Amino acid sequence: MCSPEHFAVEYAINPWMDVTASVDPELSVKQWDRLRETLVGLGHEVHLLAPEPGLPDMVYAANGAFTVDGTVYGARFKHPQRTAEAAVHRAFYESRGWRFIAPNETNEGEGDFAYLPEAHGGLVLAGYGFRTELPAHAEAQEALGRPVVSLHLVDPRFYHLDVALASIDDGNIAYYPGAFSAASQRVLAQLFPDAVVADDDDALSFGLNLVSDGANVVLNNEATRLAGRLKAAGYTPVPVELAELKKGGGSVKCCVAELRP
């Protein structure tokens, strides 16, 4: 995770960003810190990436890389405003001895990749259409040695996979069908017949931008119906408020890069 010490909406690179909307820096840090405390309270270890001035979106740490079994497939951001973030993430992993594979193709890390180790023997779900380019899916498959299923995002409000779909345990997902092409919807329905399906309101409140450890699901507090569906499916919803960070187009998952040693 990376503190929103320098977080601001200084440019608009997704439909949620409004440069005329004011951001409360103090409240941003307070809400982010509460998320960090929640994860620690659930028994997870949180590593911190030092924020850098001039990189206001660094708080969205999920976008910097994608890790599977100790191998890191690095990010290559689409927009120049975020390009410099990739090197900071690479330095973090290399300083800790992870095997790092630099990308040639445009991709935005866990923003567009999700890993399910027990789904069909180990599966990567990968989004494309707005940020990550389709050739990056083949590159990730070669880098990580895991089969990659490409999913076409068609609604610009769901510009990353992680605002439309999330793994809720090692073999199942929650998702919003309307974010995907008709063909991708059919693929998801076939692969995950027991998935938790979100409605429009919960998807648009960033409810699917969540982090789950297979039992506890940390999600945006506005996604009340999704929380109920997760509870009915046997999970424990843990709501958190991240209203300030939503102004940049992200919520819980965007703030968390999951490390898979």
Which residues belong to the active site?
Answer: 160, 254
How many Cβ atoms are within 10 Å of 2's Cβ, its own excluded?
27
3-class SS letters over 180-210: ECHHHHHHHHHHCCCCEECCHHHHHCCCCCC
Q: Nearest to residue 109, comparing CAs of 142, 91, 136?
A: 136
Instruction: Report the SS3 class of residue 239.
Output: strand
CA of residue 246 relative to chain centroid, distance: 13
| Cβ-proximal residues to 20 (8 Å cutoff; 6+ apart), any chain | none
